[in-house]
A and B are shown apart, each in its own frame.
Chain A
């Protein structure tokens, strides 16, 4: 078993255990911390897939941005002084059945498909230059549209989250 496999199984174990904790634990803050660990594991998986830039982006955007935002959301919407930080799961048995069937189905589909695998990626030593070229040549229009989407989402989120004082 090579070092690559060991690293993969380690990261996969970390991701799956902490994701199970995210969806099952009662305490919301524990859920957020588990999501933190899972996102780090996913960044490790990206590194294993030769996607160093995406891994760094994952850490900066997800862990530095989205997770902080989520924790702020938790702090602002739960009464911490009343110790109401817990939450319950609903419909556990039906959802476990549904999710298991769904996941097994996806796995069977993956298993039975003949993927065209190229095992030796040609010349992907550094991806940052390639990604920059792709973003400013073929993907220029989606790139600009994404910037507009971000601006609109920023303004929209600020507008929604503001308290209405017109009563």
Chain B
């Protein structure tokens, strides 16, 4: 095991991105798909902050990651509203069974 550097954080971000992508592809419950999106956004944040630390650019990466967090909150709120609406209309949140525009 070597000393921790930029590569380690980027690899961690890549693994987290892969896991989030896996949830996005293979999960059937819409809320778990949403959790996959959160994992992907966190992977992106790790990358941004790692570059902010090792790139010598000051706090720009951290400021951008604050915007990512803000957008993640907005996205989670709207997506949960949509999922609740889907549940009201279809009585399920299974993304495979929701295949019509109207009930």
- A residues touching B (Cβ–Cβ < 8 Å)? 1-2, 4-5, 8-9, 12, 15-16, 19-20, 22-23, 28, 31-32, 35, 38-39, 42, 45-46, 49-51, 53-54, 57-58, 61-62, 65-66, 69-70, 72-74, 76-78, 87-92, 95-96, 98-100, 102-103, 106-107, 110-111, 115-119, 121-122, 124, 127, 130-131, 134-135, 139, 142, 146, 149-150, 152-154, 156-161, 163-164
Contacts and interface: CB of A to CB of B under 8 A. Distances in A.
B74 A134 contact: no
Contacts of B66: 54, 57, 131, 135
A8 B66 CA distance: 22
B74 A153 contact: yes
B19 A22 contact: yes
A135 B8 CA distance: 29
Tell me whether chain A's interface is mostly helix, strand or loop, or mixed: helix
Given A66-B72, A127-B59, A45 B84 contact: no
A20 B46 CA distance: 18
Nearest to B70: A146
A50 B84 CA distance: 38
Nearest to A113: B10
A153 B77 contact: yes
B53 A106 contact: no
Contacts of B72: 61-62, 66
Interface in B54-103: 54-56, 58-60, 62-63, 65-67, 69-78, 80-85, 87-88, 93, 96
A142 B69 CA distance: 13
Contact of B55 (A12, A70, A118): A118
Given A61-B72, A69-B77, A72-B80, 12 more contacts: A12-B12, A22-B19, A62-B69, A76-B84, A102-B18, A106-B17, A107-B11, A117-B55, A118-B56, A139-B63, A153-B75, A161-B84
